[in-house]
Structure formats: structure tokens, C-alpha cells
Amino acid sequence: MRPSTIFLALASTIWLSEHWGTATVVEDFNHVERCKDSLYMGTPPRGFKDSRLKKICQRYADKPRYVTLYDTKNRIPVYSAYTFKKTEGDRRVDYPWMYEPQLDGNGNMMPFPTGYLHMKFEDSQAVLDDYSDVVLYERGHLNPDQHQSDPQDRAATYTLTNVVPEIREFNIGPWREHEERIRVRLNNFCRGRAYIVTGVTTTGNMIRRNNQDRVGIPEDVWSAYCCTEYDRNAPHNVRIRFPTQAALAKNAKEGNRVQELTVQDLENYLTNKMAVDKNFQLFYDNCNSPSPLPPYLHYVK
């Protein structure tokens, strides 16, 4: 490794070590100050039934950055929800990968330590060793760094509670192209705040390590955005994709084309693929224009 590379990596680690935040497991996203800012109308997707899922308010540098619903059995996020920030789309790779000790009772988002990790830590979440010898898969962000502009917002995306195993050809091909397409669309035509929820479905396939099931492998990757303030003079083929639009694709080497569809069609599909109830909904009031009444007056979870 060149000295300049070592210096940059060391400088990045020192800078990040001075900016650790907390990533808090919560009962309700709305109970944590500013955690709900990542959610349209301050309301998370509703209807998820699995009791083992953990709500994580992903905090970094003492500020909530986004939220994650995390599956401690499959050791992957079910979804991450975040606000899109206008950006040039460049990717940063000099941030260290972090983990969430808070899943085991500590509140700090921290870089992975070197050396031995206690088994209790590995019980609740994925670790770097789970991905180290797997050649088929990449660590795929649900909240991608190129959808964030602030360096600290970007750094906060580099936690394994925000990534899933994605087939390499899918990750660097169709899905990366989709993320860029959405980045350009929201950059150019969303005039207000855009809210994005990106998640996965699973069928039981797992990455194994030391003859043990370790990390769930997604079957589908899906995403949806909500932007109620958009350019009404945009071309028709763009305007019909507002205020909401969704996407769905197979996490596969072939047959992995990303299909754009309505949020309602995505919800109908996910109802048959995930443990959700009849009230399942990704965005409050289907991302209609904000009501003058606060959500709690007419939105029953």
C-alpha cells in the first residue's frame, strides 16, 4: 500500500473516531427527536408483523441520519428510510465499515475492531467476516452514499445494518444504474424534500460461515420515493413519475432488470412476499399532499 493511501486511511479513521454518534434501538421512531425527519409526515411504513424486527434510529455525530428496520435473525435490514439530498453522485470509499453495538445494549455506532469479536456481538448482526470469503456478493447499500451530500450523512451509510448481500452483477449493473437514474430525476425535478424507502424480500437462502447460517440473501430489492413538491412543467414522461414511484428487481445474475411501477403495485406485490398485515403502507396517506391536520389525528397505526 502506498504511503499516501495509508495516510488517507489513517486520517479518515482519526476523523471518524472523533465523530462517533449513537444508533439507537427504539420502540417508536417518533419518540426520538428528529429521527422521524427521515419519514414522510414523520410516519414510518406500517403493517410489519414480525416481532423480532428492531427499529434503529441511525445516529452519527450526535445527529439522527436515517432509520432502519432490522431483522436480527437474518442479520440484514428489512428496509432503510431516508431523505434524499441533492448530490453530484460521486461515490466515497474511504469510510470504514461500522457496526451497531446498540443491538447488544450499547448505543454507539463504531468502526469494526480488529481481532476477536465476542460471539454475543455476532449473534445479532452481520460482521465483516461474513462477507470476506463470499465472491458472488457485494455489500449493497439500501441508503446509498451517492444519495447523500454531507460527508457525515455519507459516513453514516457505511454500517452493516444498512447493507444486504447483492449479487455482484446486479449491484454494479442494474441496481446502481437505477440509483443513479433516481438521483438525476430527484435532483432535477423534485423541488421539495424527497423521502425514500428501500428494502428487500427473502426466501430463506443464507450466506453460511463456519457451517452456520449467517446472513439472509435477498430475493428481491425494492425501493419507493415520495416527493409532493415537484416541477409541474416537467416533461410528461417525468411528471407521471411524481409524486411517487417505485422500483422492483430480482437480486440475481440474470433476469435482474429493474422494473418501475406504482407504489400501490409494489405494496400489492410485497403483501404476498413479506410478513405484513392488511394495513401495510409505505407512505402515510399514499404520499398525497400534506394535510393541515397532524398525522396522529387521522392516521391509525
- 26 or 268: which leads in pLDDT: 268
Phi, psi of 207 (to 5 degrees): -75, 130
Cis status, amide bond into 243, omega within 30 of 0: yes
Cell (9 digits) for 16: 471518524
Alpha-carbon span 180 to 169, nearest angstrom? 16
Q: Is the pLDDT of residue 10 over 90?
A: no
Question: Which of 17-31, 181-195, 217-231 comes out lowest in average pLDDT?
Answer: 17-31
Cis status, amide bond into 113, omega within 30 of 0: no
Instruction: Please state the pTM of the whole predicted model.
Output: 0.85
Strands, E assignment, 168-211? 194-209
Q: Which helix (H) or strand (E) covers residue 168, if one does?
A: helix 168-172
Q: What is the mean pLDDT of residues 193-207?
A: 97
State the first-to-last Cα distance of the chain, in angstroms, to the nearest integer. Answer: 53
Q: Is the pLDDT of residue 294 over 80?
A: no
Q: Is residue 50 very low, low, confident or very high in pLDDT (cuts 50, 70, 90)?
A: confident
Query: What's the one-letter identity of residue 45?
Result: P
- 288 or 79: which leads in pLDDT: 79
Q: What is the mean pLDDT of residues 192-216?
A: 95
Cell (9 digits) for 201: 424480500
Task: Tell me the pLDDT tens digit for each residue of 113-129.
Answer: 666 454 556 777 898 88
Residue linked to cell 417518533:
30
Q: DSSP label at 254?
A: S
